[in-house]
Amino acid sequence: MPPASKLNPGRLRPLVIVSAIVLLAACGGQASPRPVATSSPATASATNEASGQCSGQPTPAQTEGPYFKPGSPMRTSLVEPGMAGTRLALSGRVLSRDCRPIAGARLDFWQADASGSYDNAGYRLRGNQTTRSDGRYALDTVVPGEYPGRTEHIHVKVQPAGGGTLTTQLYFPGVSRNQQDSIFDPRLLLTVEVAASGLTATYDFVLNG
């Protein structure tokens, strides 16, 4: 099955939907259905953005990895003219353990490009933003490519005003390489849907403290 970066949203438009079979169709070539991330307790995120539910379970921390760079530009779109890759509209909320929105939390995203390469000289596909009064964030980017040893993922640091920083990574459902990545955690799976312009994904962060 091709990774999410190889999906063809246009071809799949008739299948668009909210069901758990979306990516199954999108990934194609699978002999048996592969659910998309949304519902199994074993793979559910700490919150369910689609339903607005929040379990209050803190989002797991993960390693920062070797490619973080401080000083990223403040921006909500990492897409640049001519940038290759499937467009991805990622959004969600930053919440407290009692499920209240956290305004003014800083999110710093960084990721590989569609071919699995990081820009370590500049700030391509790196950017930070601050949650709005309702705790929401939104990021326009592209689906990252795999690179040796790693499945598709997006790195992020989430820091509430005056609070500690959560460093973690987000993953894509239906990617076969997830199971071979020792860092992969199903609690960090995005909820993904195919849209006309690419993919939309949601994830709510729950901060511990």
The site for Fe ion (CB under 5 A) is made up of 65
User: Which residue number has the CB closest to Fe ion?
Assistant: 65
Sign for the CA dihedral angle at 7, 63, 126, 207 comes to positive
In the bound state with Fe ion, the residue whose beta carbon lies nearer, of 137 and 184, is: 184
Kindly list the distances between the CA atom of residue 185 and the CA atoms of 76, 93, 181, in Å, as whole numbers in the listed order: 25, 19, 9
Give least dist CB 117 to Fe ion, A: 11
State in angstroms the smallest separation of the CB of 126 from Fe ion. Answer: 12
Q: What are phi and psi of 26, to 5 degrees?
A: -65, -40
Which lies closer to Fe ion via its Cβ, residue 59 or residue 131?
Answer: 59
Please state the closest distance from residue 119 (CB atom) to Fe ion, in A: 12
Which residue's CB is nearer to Fe ion, number 35 or number 181? 181
Shortest reach from residue 83's CB to Fe ion, in Å: 18
- Measured between alpha carbons, how far apart are the two ends of the chain, in Å? 39
The CA-atom distances, in angstroms, between 7 and each of 2, 29, 51, 86 are 7, 12, 25, 7
- With respect to Fe ion, which residue has the nearer C-beta, 9 or 145? 145
d(CA 116, CA 148): 9
Our measurement of the distance from residue 71's CA atom to the centroid of its chain's CA atoms, rounded to an integer in Å, reads 21
Q: Which is nearer to Fe ion, 34 or 157 (CB)?
A: 157
The least CB distance from residue 155 to Fe ion, in Å, is 6
d(CA 155, CA 206): 16
